[in-house]
Amino acid sequence: MPSKAKIAIAHLGCDKNRVDTEHILGLLVEAGYGVDTDEAAADYVIVNTCSFIQAARQESVQTLVELAEANKKIVITGCLAQHFQSQLLDEIPEAVAVVGSGDYQHIVEVIERAEAGERVERVSAVPNYIADETIPRYRTTPEPMAYLRIAEGCDYRCAFCIIPHLRGNQRSRSIESIVQEANQLAQEGVQEIILVSQITTNYGLDRYGQPQLAELLRALGAVDIPWIRMHYAYPTGLTDAVIAAMRETPNILPYLDLPLQHSHPEILRAMNRPWQANVNDHVMERLKASLPDAVFRTTFIVGFPGETEEHFDHLCQFVERHQFDHVGVFTFSPEDGTAAHTLPNQVPEEIKDHRRDRLMALQQPISYRNNQRQIGLTVPVLIEQENPQTGEWIGRSPRFSADVDGVVYVKGPAQIGRILPVEITAADPYDLYGITHLRED
In the annotated binding site for [4Fe-4S] cluster, the residues are 14, 50, 79, 154, 158, 161
Helix, strand, or coil here: 270?
Answer: helix
Kindly tell me the burial class for residue 351, based on how many C-beta atoms sit within 10 Å of its own C-beta (0-12, 13-18, 19 or more).
middle
Are 403 and 389 in contact by the 8 Å Cβ rule? The answer is no
Are 346 and 305 in contact by the 8 Å Cβ rule? The answer is yes
From first CA to last CA, the distance across the chain in angstroms is 50
Q: Could you tell me the strand order of the sheet in which 326-331 lies?
A: 255-261, 295-302, 326-331
Q: Which neighbouring-strand residues pair with 9?
A: 46
Residues forming the annotated binding site? Answer: 14, 50, 79, 154, 158, 161
| CA 213 – CA 193 distance, rounded (Å) | 15
- Overall size of the chain counted in residues: 441
- Nearest CA-CA partner of 159 in 354, 353, 332: 332
Q: Per DSSP, which regions of 389-429 are E strands?
A: 393-396, 408-411, 419-427
Pairing of β 408-411 and β 393-396: antiparallel
| CA 208 – CA 206 distance, rounded (Å) | 6
Helix, strand, or coil here: 75?
Answer: strand
| CA 111 – CA 416 distance, rounded (Å) | 36
| CA 106 – CA 109 distance, rounded (Å) | 5
Q: Could you tell me the strand order of the sheet in which 95-99 lies?
A: 34-36, 6-11, 44-49, 73-78, 95-99, 120-122
| CA 146 – CA 437 distance, rounded (Å) | 27
| CA 376 – CA 366 distance, rounded (Å) | 19
